[in-house]
Amino acid sequence: MKRLFITLALTFLSLSALAQQQRLIVFGGSPWFNFDPLSSYFTKGSLVQTAGYIEAWRQELDPENVFVSHTPSVLKTLPNGYSSYNAANPKLLDSIYKYLRVTQLDTTKFKFPTQIMDTLKGEYILVVDRFDFLGDVTFQHKVFSIKDFPNSRKYLENFDRQQQELKRFFATPIINLPQDYTTRESYFGPSPITNLMHAFQLDKSNAEISIYAPSLEDFTWKKGDLYLKNIHTFIRFDNELTVVKTTGEILLQFLEETYWERYYTVKKPSDDLVKLRTPYFFHDSAAGEISYEVNLSKSRDKRIENHNIIPSKTYSIAINSFRAKWFTQKGASAENIADYRTLFVNWITQENRLQNIPNVEHWSLKPQLWVEQIKKREIENLF
């Protein structure tokens, strides 16, 4: 009996050895290094740790049995700084993929619910194991965080020079600002920062009108050196500069809706003014070849006065791709120009750019005296 047990045990071990294991490791938009290039703070859950995990399993299973891929949406889910740097220098990401031996995702060889990949970004990776036991193939999959896994020293050493270049990319001054530019002023009417952004959109699009809302609720570019990381912190979202074409009638509908959502009805100087419950990215204003007044004492759909907008005319409007959806849902055509953030950086760094900014905002709030009184109170209390 003892001999039979030993024989069976040895037979089982021999058969187990015949079961071939292969492992697929899939990552999403993970940071390339263990720091945020916009803040220079160290972070966890980057490709530095994923590389360490990959190296460990290539030692365990043999490099030929470990496959590495990324999600189809990997570039869309990259953190802000890395996404921007990749747009300027895609060679680094190519080098990283080559180092990790990233291959095209093969969902026929490794079977798993593909919708799982939608959850992969930052610190999370997907691991799929394929077991082949004498032709009987089974699969196991799991999603887990990589943030507590050790860093790969080899990876860090291999890309040390590129890391330093990435840090310098965001820490280099690109222009000197002659004054502060703050979003606070923009909630109470035309302001230097909204005029700047309107001028940019009009110049790069050749549109007749620009529509713009702040990219952050409370943000200031201080007088002096402006760094690339300051721009990427302010323009956080991956939009494109877009030109929509629509009628003056639709534009007036947009303005009426916008200024109703932005401001309370003002009947006396003790009334509230700014509706901060409305997200900052819906606090739009329009500039360019139009002028108008916003009468806050009036009811909904009756606030836009003394304007030169022709309802039957078709206008070209520069706007970001996110807000352009409002117009396309109304039947407007839309054409994307280029990546918004990259276009703005190239525009503002042109020589003497800030010395030649035209005044393109031609709108105001009424009743003016009350608005000014409320502004003095709210600009201190709201922020």
C-alpha closest to that of 253 among 206, 216, 292, 302: 302
Residues 151, 34 contacting (CB under 8 angstroms):
yes
Structure tokens at 272: 């509230």
Structure tokens at 339: 């990546």
Q: What is the pLDDT of residue 356?
A: 82
Which pLDDT does position 1 carry in this prediction? 45
- Using H for helix, E for strand and C for coil, what is the string for 296-341? CCCCCCCCEECCCCCCCCEEEEEEEHHHHHHHHCCCCEEEEEEEHH
Q: Cα torsion at 279, 281, 285, 288 (round to 10°)? A: 180
The encoded tokens of residue 218 equal: 């409370």
Q: Which two tokens stand for residue 382?
A: 């709201």
- pLDDT score recorded for residue 101: 96
In the chain, CATH 3.90.780.10 sits at: 172-381
Whether the CB-CB separation of 235 and 341 falls below 8 Å is answered with yes
Two structure tokens written together for 208: 């007749």
What does the pLDDT read at residue 2? 44
381: Cβ contacts below 8 Å, ≥ 6 apart: none
Q: Are 300 and 256 in contact (CB under 8 A)?
A: yes
Enter the tokens of residue 128: 């799929």
* pTM, rounded to two decimals: 0.73
Supply 131's token pair.
């077991």
Q: Looking up tokens 């002659």, which residue turns up?
A: 178
Nearest Cα residue to 110 out of 18, 22, 20, 51? 22
User: Closest Cα to residue 160, out of 29, 33, 45, 27?
Assistant: 33
**pLDDT value for 40:** 77
- What CATH number matches the domain at 172-381, 1.10.3720.10, 1.10.760.10, 3.90.780.10, 3.40.50.10470? 3.90.780.10
| Residues of the chain under the 70 pLDDT cut | 1-18
Decide if 340 contacts 320 (C-beta within 8 A): yes
Amino acid at position 210, single letter: S
Question: Cβ neighbours of residue 296 under 8 Å, at least 6 residues apart?
Answer: 259, 263, 264, 265, 266, 273, 303, 365, 366, 367, 371
pLDDT of residue 78: 84
DSSP code, position 115: G
